[in-house]
């Protein structure tokens, strides 16, 4: 089974879409017959850019809630997705976090009274003194759930506030606009909307982004008696 097949199997019932760009045809072929909507992200302009591309899909569906996950996290179980959705009874947004053995380059959750007040990206927290880092123990998995009406409202705000970043494209330094889902958390918190955190474990949220990670995931599936 493909990594995407494992992810789709664990997601709750409802309308589903995949945002595609790189190797779009391979993704469509691997998931054919899954009843998915395919959304083209015109340029690779960040996680928020993928969400902006998905806005027409979000607007047309009648689901009350939305889950945002990634295409390389096959070990996340349905129970974790359901916990995120349950948090939306009393919150506008929920983040799946985890306590890591090492922070690596993950975004870190700022918590106030058991609610998420912000997500600090590595580019910023790497300059923090150790006493500040001691307060930031939970990492962002990049997996979220949201009340859809709130999500749609804040995507419109997100699309008007890009980050201007320099990237090397075809060997040439190019200035591009990027958008980050983590900014949604800041906007919602500033407007006093409640944001929850659900704790998962590090193995479950592991991204398969290189051969070593793929071999590790295959070993985990074998130990569980799965393909």
Q: Tell me: the pLDDT tens digits for 100-143?
A: 888 888 899 999 988 999 999 888 898 899 888 888 999 999 99
Q: What confidence score (pLDDT) does residue 181 get?
A: 94
Percent of the chain with pLDDT over 70: 90
Residue 86: pLDDT over 60: yes
Residue 207: pLDDT over 70: no
How far, in Å, CA of 30 to CA of 36, rounded? 11
Confidence category of residue 25, pLDDT binned at 50, 70, 90: confident
Q: Could you tell me the CATH number of the domain that includes residue 13?
A: 3.90.550.10
Question: How big, in percent rounded to 5, are the helix, strand and coil portions of the chain?
Answer: 35, 25, 40
Per the structure, the complete domain to which residue 121 belongs is given by 3-223
Q: What confidence score (pLDDT) does residue 221 get?
A: 56
Q: Residue 17: enclosing H or E segment and its boundaries?
A: strand 17-20
pTM of the model: 0.89
Residue 199 β-bridge partners: 97
Q: Could you identify the residue written with the tokens 């040439």?
A: 172
Total structural domains within the chain: 1
* Token digits of residue 133: 């880092």
């Amino acid at each position: 089974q493909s990594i995407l097949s494992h992810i789709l199997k664990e997601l709750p019932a409802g309308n589903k879409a995949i945002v595609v760009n790189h190797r779009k045809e391979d993704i469509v072929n691997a998931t054919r017959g899954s009843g998915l909507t395919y959304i083209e992200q015109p340029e690779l302009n960040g996680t928020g850019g993928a969400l902006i591309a998905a806005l027409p899909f979000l607007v047309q569906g009648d689901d009350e809630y939305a889950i945002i996950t990634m295409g390389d996290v096959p070990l996340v179980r349905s129970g974790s997705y359901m916990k995120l959705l349950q948090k939306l009874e009393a919150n506008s947004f929920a983040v799946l976090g985890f306590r890591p053995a090492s922070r690596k380059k993950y975004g870190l959750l700022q918590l106030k009274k058991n609610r998420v007040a912000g997500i600090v990206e590595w580019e910023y927290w790497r300059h923090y003194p150790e006493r500040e880092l001691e307060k930031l123990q939970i990492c962002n998995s990049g997996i979220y759930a949201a009340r859809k009406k709130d999500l749609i409202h804040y995507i419109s705000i997100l699309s008007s506030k890009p980050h201007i970043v320099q990237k090397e494209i075809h060997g040439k330094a190019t200035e591009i606009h990027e958008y980050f889902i983590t900014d949604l958390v800041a906007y919602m918190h500033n407007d006093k909307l409640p944001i929850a955190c659900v704790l998962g474990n590090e193995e479950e949220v592991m991204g398969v982004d290189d051969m070593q990670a793929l071999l590790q995931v295959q070993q985990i599936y074998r130990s569980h008696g799965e393909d």
